Every structure is written in structure tokens, then in C-alpha cells.
Structure 1
Amino acid sequence: MHLSPILETELLWSDETAAQASAEKLAAALLPSPDAVIELHGPLGAGKTTFTRLLLRALGVEGRIKSPSYAVMESYELPGGATASHFDFYRFGDPREWEDAGFRDVFAAPGLKLCEWPEKAAGQLPPADLQLFIELMADDGRRVRMVGDARLVEALK
């Protein structure tokens, strides 16, 4: 994607409702044909999977949205025919697993790619259109640093 300059900003999610509002804004910016790589960074429990679920719901995914912790990848058909692929690279021990799993083809195809623990697939992922760095705060809120395509970062504000 990278059609506009790179931008960086921060916001606070006081609760899941605030995260949902951000997910809905991002979904609106991605539609009608989501085609982007989004990386979600943060420690266990930061809310990476929760935000991904909220975003997929905002994009129109119905039914169960499973965490890909064990399967590494879960794919979802979006209204309009696009595909969203949710990756969790937490269990990756060797970047060669990327090739073995056939992910090069998935990333070469159009569609939305949501990547948790992208650092575990070091050197294999294409450049991200948007990176979210989610930090758990003492009050259970989240501080989120967003870096990426200015159009997507602006949409999240």
C-alpha cells in the first residue's frame, strides 16, 4: 500500500470500547477492499488478539473468530470477496518455518494480513503498512503507538 507518507502518533484505549472505536475507524479506512499488512506488537495480554477480533468484526466477519496461537494462521472471507488472514507467530522458533508453511504465497496475494508477534518471523514479512505497539497500563488501559501509512494512522485518531 504505502500510498502516503509514514506517520507516527499515540492514543490511549481506556477500555475495550475505545479499542472498538479504533477498530471501526480502521475498518472504514480499509474498505471496500482491505489490502494491507498490519503488525501488532506487545506483551502477552496486551490486547493484540482482542483488537484483531474487533477489527475483523468491524470488517463484517461473522461467526467464531479463533486465535491462531496453535494453527499459526486463520483466514476469513470478508464481505465483498476479500480475504483477511490472522497470523500468530508466537510459537515460531525458526524463520524457515515461514517457507515450510507456505506463507510467502499468502503474503503475495491481495488481502488483509494481521500479524501478531511479527518479530518471530524476522526477515520474512513484507514491510508493514501499519504497526501497532500496544502497551498495558497500570489502570488496565492501553497506550498504543501507531506507525505507518499516514492515511491509516490518521484514520485511527
Structure 2
Amino acid sequence: MFSIHINSVEEIQTAAKSLLNHFPSERIFAFYGKMGAGKTTFIKALCRQLGSVDPITSPTFALVNEYSTSTNERIFHFDFYRIKDVEEALDIGFDDYLYSGKYCMMEWPENIAPLLPENIVEVKIEVLDSSRRQLTANIV
């Protein structure tokens, strides 16, 4: 199990690097937390640590954004907050993304729970106060 306190915005990059180092061979990360917990902000930090050269924004309406790294690798960022049923995820080719071997970062994965495979990194972000977060992660 991985656990880290994030006491300020300035510590996010370090926390992101630590998470990636703790799970070096994992590619699928599912982020859980309340609205405003910092899921998108943390995914931005992870993408930066992975070398993304693209602007990183929440794919709330598109469901998925694709980012490129400086080495032409791809990172997929999903936001399932507004999804109405799992068929929508299947319609965008979710399985193809998931099994591509590329990094997949998912916000609101509980909305597509039946589609989630085993052995993914479940990341929980708990709000401690306005600037501090507790992040825990393990493979489920």
C-alpha cells in the first residue's frame, strides 16, 4: 500500500513522482475522491512527471483526452462524472484504451465499475482541509 500526505500545492509533483515510482509497471490508475478533492490536479502532475508536453485539462464532456509525451508516448485521461451508463464508455472504445498498454488515468471510475479490470491501481484522495490531502493507493 502507498500512502502520502500532500500539505500544499507545491508538494504535488513530488507526490506524483513517488506514486509512479511505487507502481513502476502499472498503467491503469483509478482515482476516487469527492468533487474538488484534486483528482484532475493530481492527474496533471502525473502527466507532467510522465513527460506530457500537451495542455492537460479535464475531459468532463469529451470523456477522454489524449496527451503526448516528449518521447511520443500516449497518456489517456478519462472523466466519467457525467456518464449515464457503461455503454457510453464502450462506445468510445474504452476497452481499446484500457488494454493498449498506455497509461490510463480515470476520474470517477465508480461510474463504470462493471468495466474495470482487476489489478489496477486504486487511488483515493481524501480532503483533510483546504490545502492538505491524504492520498492512498493500492492494487485491487
Q: Same fold (TM over 0.5)?
A: yes
TM-score of the two chains, using structure 2 as the length reference: 0.88
- Are 2:127 and 1:136 equivalent residues in the alignment? yes
How many residues in Structure 1 have an aligned counterpart in Structure 2? 140
Q: 2:66, 2:77 within 8 Å by CA — same for their partners in 1?
A: yes
TM-score of the two chains, using structure 1 as the length reference: 0.79
Indicate the SS of the match to 1:84. Answer: strand
Hey, what does 2:12 align to over in structure 1? 19
- Are 2:125 and 1:121 equivalent residues in the alignment? no
Runs of 5+ unmatched residues, structure 2: none
Give the percent of matched residue pairs that are identical in Structure 1 and Structure 2. Answer: 30
Q: 1:35, 1:110 within 8 Å by CA — same for their partners in 2?
A: no
Q: 1:13, 1:144 within 8 Å by CA — same for their partners in 2?
A: yes
Indicate the SS of the match to 2:51. Answer: coil
Indicate the SS of the match to 1:71. Answer: coil
Q: C-alpha deviations, 1:60-118, integer Å up to 9, x for none?
A: 11231121111110011223332110000001111111222211111121100000000
Runs of 5+ unmatched residues, structure 1: 1-7, 150-157
Indicate the SS of the match to 1:122. Answer: helix
Superposed structure 1 runs of 4+ greater than 4 Å apart: 27-31
Root mean square deviation, CA, Å: 2.1
- Provide the rounded CA distance (Å) in 2 between the counterparts of 1:76 and 1:63: 6
